[in-house]
Every structure is written in structure tokens, then in C-alpha cells.
Structure 1
Amino acid sequence: MAVVVLGSINLDLIAQIKSVPKAGETGLAENFMTSPGGKGANQALAARRMGAETALLGMVGEDAFAVQALKFLRQEDVDLSRIGVSREKSTGLAMIVVEASGQNAITVVPGANGVIGQDVLADLEARLTSKDILVLQLEVPLDVVEDAIAIARHIKARVMLDPAPAVANLPKSLYRVDIIAPNQVEAETLIGAQITDVRTAKAAARQLRSRGVEVAIVKLGEMGVVWATARGLFYLPGEPVKAIDAVGAGDAFFGALAARLDAGDALADAIRIANHAAALSTTKRGAQPSFARWEEVRQYLSN
């Protein structure tokens, strides 16, 4: 069993600022740092740190950014043997502005992530087995995600989709997954309605599940998480932590969820653990450097 992630690989350029400038306004950042990122890479690392055997498939550029982007993944022994290299496009970049409150705004330059194609899909078909969990996001071409879902369905592997960045009128074929898990804003885009509280989040989860998904999860940040299954609607409150940086928290949740499901945990238990992992990630700066290990989460749960 393993968690197999097909997704984006970025280098994050992060500026910390009191508040995000308005249009036409110049803001003075208080600090700057670089960090490996990309939703695919983030979720692969999060899954690995939570104990899962993990493989990442994707593309980087033929540049120095690639070395930095893959740094933590190599250190954690994530399987990178099927990472492709583009000679035409740079490694993906994400420019992130983090407010003092912990909220953030992100601009993504896809780079090599945008040219993932048939070679990577062929590698996926060769790597994936029926015992694996395939983890997908939308920072790579939609047709690649559609084909990856079709491959996984043929192999009979479980499929998890993080529909980010959200796309209005998401193709029906992308709902042919076992788990979909947008955050609050992404869920609003998918269903075309505002989510203001737990009640409306539950309604959104129910609507998403009606589109053919086995489990629909809506991540609500500090408010917690709701999910819909054939058994009904469920809610888990957020964790009372002092958040300083929410970058990557959703990826920490999704990667941890995949890892615990791969380990055989029941869905509710896996969501509870993922909720803890996401909360812990907000107490540290950056995305990948903030991801908790299974031992840390297990100790947190026992307190």
C-alpha cells in the first residue's frame, strides 16, 4: 500500500506583511523566505511525515529552483523516481503574501506543472496498484487529472481529489472520485453559493456528494471540518491553537488524511487526525517545514 500523488511542484516565495495591500497600494513586507511548495509536493510530504510510503509524480524545470523545490522530499525519502524535467518551462513558482493574522494570498506561476502530459500518465499507470491511494489536485492540466482518475478507476485504486484552485462548472468526470475535499472558498465556487457557517457547509457537502462522490469534505479552517457520506452529515470543530501561518494547512490535512486511510484508519478517525495535523501546521511558518510527523500528532492526541 502507498499514497501516490500526481501534482504540482513549486518553489514558494513568501513575504510576511501586516496586511495585504489593496489594488494600486504598495505594502512593506516585514520578512521574506523561500520554501518548497506546490500542492502535489506538499501533500506528498505531509503523507510521508504521517507514516505513509509515498511517491510523487510531476514535472520540474531544468533550473536551480528544482533542487530547492525537491529538498524536503528527498530528505524524507519520498519516491521521486518518476519526476519529469521540462527543458522549455521553469519549475513552478508560488508568490505568497502572509498577513500577521495568518491569512494569506497566493499567486501561482505553473511553469513545468502546466506541461504535465502523457509521459507522466504512463508512469502513473505503471506505478499505481489497486492497494494504493491516488491523490490529485488542480494545479496541473484538467485533462491530465481526468485521465489520471480514469487510470485509477481501471486499476481499482482509491482516488482523492483536492479541487484547488477551484474551477466553476467542474467537469462531471472529476467527481468520479472516492473523496473530494475543497476548503470553504473552493466549495463556494463549486456549488455557486455562499458558505457562512457549519449549517451551510453541511448543505454544500451534501450537494457535492450528490454529484457522484463517495465522501465530500468541506474544510472550514479554524471552524473545523464537515463531511457527507452515505451515513449522513458530520462535523468536527477546529483545534484551539495559536495560528501564525495558515499556508499549507489544507495540504497538511489532505496528506495526513491520505496517509491515515492508507494505514487502515476508519474515515472519521482519519479526519480527526488530519484535523490535528492541519492545526499543528498553522503554529509554524511556511508550508512544508510546518508539517507535523505522525509521532508529534499522536502525542498531541494523547494529551
Structure 2
Amino acid sequence: MVNVVVVGSYVVDLMSRTPHMPKPGETVLGGPFRMGPGGKGGNQAVSAARQGANVTMVTKVGKDLFGEDAIRNFENERIITSHVTTHETEATGAALIAVDTESENMIVVALGACGKLSRDDVIQAQQSFADADIVLVQLETSLEAIESTITLANDMSKPIILNPAPYQELDQESLSKVSYITPNETEAEFLTGVNIVDEKSVHEAALALSDKGIPNVLITLGKKGCYVYDGKDGRTIPGFAVEAIDTTGAGDAFNGAFATFIAEGYSLDDAVYRANAVAALSVTKLGTAPAMPQKDEVDNFLQRVKA
């Protein structure tokens, strides 16, 4: 079993369906309402764990009921919580999510406690880093914690996956220490200035990211799949056609699964292919962390696809 360290956010998801996205000043009657575990870090940790990894989560929660639920949810997923710490004054983060009839979403995130994750919190987890096969980090927490994570993992010669979401500007030194970067089209444009509209422009964006010293560039393309550039060749690993119910968390499903698969020794293309399947299955259910598929679901799905 591979060891994955995930450093990032935990927030509670507060989600409702809406017939359409409200305009400024408009109130829309929606429903049903659902509440569940979320946050990019938490979602990715669950995705990795459900694909068979031994996962350690590094985050902060509030001294409140949502924080207690967070630890209970992680433990239910067999995720190690020794570095899930409690902030004395900040509340557990929350995400306000609206999902329309086309399964598109709009999200407002109040980071709360996980936005206070610090360099000291990361350093406290250094033994877990030493034992890790791979480290996964996003941008949904403090830059101090993100940069400290990248530096510590790099100093220990651990492969690092950076999911640059939601976009924050990282310094060039940090980017050059990353082994894999996994932006979506919008984040890739923020990082490179390239407007992605076709395969030529996605290749141009991938080259620009490679030029920043990142050896493996994975630009996720939603249902179309993922564009992969390994420093030599670029190609699109296609996605899977499914009936989407809720696309929230699909990128997190991909990242957590990819971390597990690449740590297990799958080739880059095979790891992406399998992670595409995990992302596809996640959108067939409502929610984020609860929608992450189990390993046997993915294996059965891929067997049906190949049949």
C-alpha cells in the first residue's frame, strides 16, 4: 500500500440544487439541501484513500461541531488524522455550492480554520513526509503552508503533485520544485496567459508550464479528458462518457486518484486514464467527498468499458 500525504483544505459543503444560477439580487427557490464533508484537500484525500492509498491528511479545523465531524469523517475513510489540528478561534471552513439543472456549479468558499494552516503545522508532519511515496497539495489554504509543503517534500526528494486550484500566484522557485502540475483550462490560462480553445493552444500552455521547470504537465479538460505533456510529447488521454448529475469535485477525484496510481507505479498515461475514470464516476453522484468512487467501482467500470 502506497503512502500519500495530502496537505490542504477541509470545509463542510453546504449544497443545494437550483433551477438556474441566481442573478445579482435574485432569490431562487431550490432544493434539496445537502451537507457533507468537502474542501479540495479533504476531497482529494478521500479519493486517494478509496483507491487504496494509506493517506495522511494535514489540515486545520475549527473547535466546533463541523470540526468534530471532519475528524470523524476522515477516520471513517481510514485517513490518518494525527496532523488534523484544531484552531482555537477560527470556525471550520464552509463551501456554499449551487448546482443547476445542467449539473454546472457555482461555489463560494470561506476557508476559516484551514486558511490558517502554517509552516509549523507542515513541519510537525515531517515524519509523515519522510514515509510518503508522494505528496499532494492544492492552493486552497495559506501560501505559507503551500510553499512550506513544496520545500519540505523537495528537500526529502519526494514527488510533488500541485493542483493549482483555486488559483493563487506561486513564486517561480516553488513551481520549479513540483513534479506534476494539474491545472484545468482556466487555471492553465492564469498560469501561462494562454487562452485554451483547441489542441494547439493547450499544447502551447503545456509547453509554457514545462518551461517553468515542471517535468510533467497535466491539463484537465473536463469530460474531454486530460492533456499530458512529459517534456517530450503531448497527447490527450480521453475521458469517459457518463450521465453527469453533479460535476462538483471531479477535479479532486482526479487528483487524489492520480496520486495513488502514479505512486503505485502506473505509467503516466495509465495513471491519467484510470484517474479520468475516477473523475467520470464521481460526477454520476451528488456531492464531493461522498461521491468519490471506491476502487472496485473503478475496476468494474474499466472492465465494462474494455468489454
Identity within the alignment, %: 36
| Aligned equivalent of 1:173 | 173
Query: By how many angstroms is 1:171 displaced?
Result: 1.5
| Aligned equivalent of 1:246 | 247
1:189 aligns with 2:166: no
The one-letter amino acid of 1:173's match is E
Between the aligned partners of 1:85 and 1:192, the Cα distance in structure 2 is 38
Contact 1:183 1:218 in 2 (8 A): yes
Secondary structure of the corresponding residue to residue 81 of structure 2 = coil
The one-letter amino acid of 1:31's match is P
Secondary structure of the corresponding residue to residue 237 of structure 2 = strand
Q: 1:250 to 1:154 in 2, by over 3 A?
A: same
Query: By how many angstroms is 1:6 displaced?
Result: 0.7
| Aligned equivalent of 1:163 | 164
Query: By how many angstroms is 1:82 displaced?
Result: 1.2
Question: C-alpha deviations, 1:112-154, integer Å up to 9, x for none?
Answer: 0111113311222222126521100111111221111111111
Matches of residues 1-303 of structure 1 in structure 2 within 5 Å?
1-129=2-130, 131-167=132-168, 169-175=169-175, 176-303=177-304
Q: 1:130 to 1:234 in 2, by over 3 A?
A: farther
Question: C-alpha deviations, 1:180-204, integer Å up to 9, x for none?
Answer: 0011111121112321233322221
Query: By how many angstroms is 1:238 displaced?
Result: 2.1
The one-letter amino acid of 1:178's match is S
Question: C-alpha deviations, 1:216-263, integer Å up to 9, x for none?
Answer: 111111121101112310102221100010011000000000011121
The one-letter amino acid of 1:113's match is C
Between the aligned partners of 1:173 and 1:20, the Cα distance in structure 2 is 39
The one-letter amino acid of 1:101's match is E
Between the aligned partners of 2:165 and 2:235, the Cα distance in structure 1 is 22
TM-score by length of 2: 0.95
Contact 2:237 2:269 in 1 (8 A): no
Secondary structure of the corresponding residue to residue 94 of structure 2 = strand
Unaligned runs of at least 5 residues, structure 1: none
Between the aligned partners of 1:55 and 1:131, the Cα distance in structure 2 is 9
Query: By how many angstroms is 1:172 displaced?
Result: 0.8
The one-letter amino acid of 1:118's match is R
Contact 1:72 1:288 in 2 (8 A): no
Between the aligned partners of 1:99 and 1:197, the Cα distance in structure 2 is 26
Between the aligned partners of 1:130 and 1:234, the Cα distance in structure 2 is 33
Between the aligned partners of 2:186 and 2:69, the Cα distance in structure 1 is 30
Query: By how many angstroms is 1:57 displaced?
Result: 0.7
Between the aligned partners of 1:172 and 1:203, the Cα distance in structure 2 is 19
**Which range moves more in the overlay, 113-122 or 277-286?**
113-122
Query: By how many angstroms is 1:300 displaced?
Result: 0.8
Unaligned runs of at least 5 residues, structure 2: none
Secondary structure of the corresponding residue to residue 58 of structure 2 = strand
Contact 1:36 1:71 in 2 (8 A): no
Query: By how many angstroms is 1:67 displaced?
Result: 2.5
Contact 1:209 1:216 in 2 (8 A): yes
Number of residue equivalences:
302
Query: By how many angstroms is 1:71 displaced?
Result: 4.0
Between the aligned partners of 1:76 and 1:187, the Cα distance in structure 2 is 31
Contact 1:6 1:136 in 2 (8 A): yes
Query: By how many angstroms is 1:70 displaced?
Result: 3.6
The one-letter amino acid of 1:127's match is S
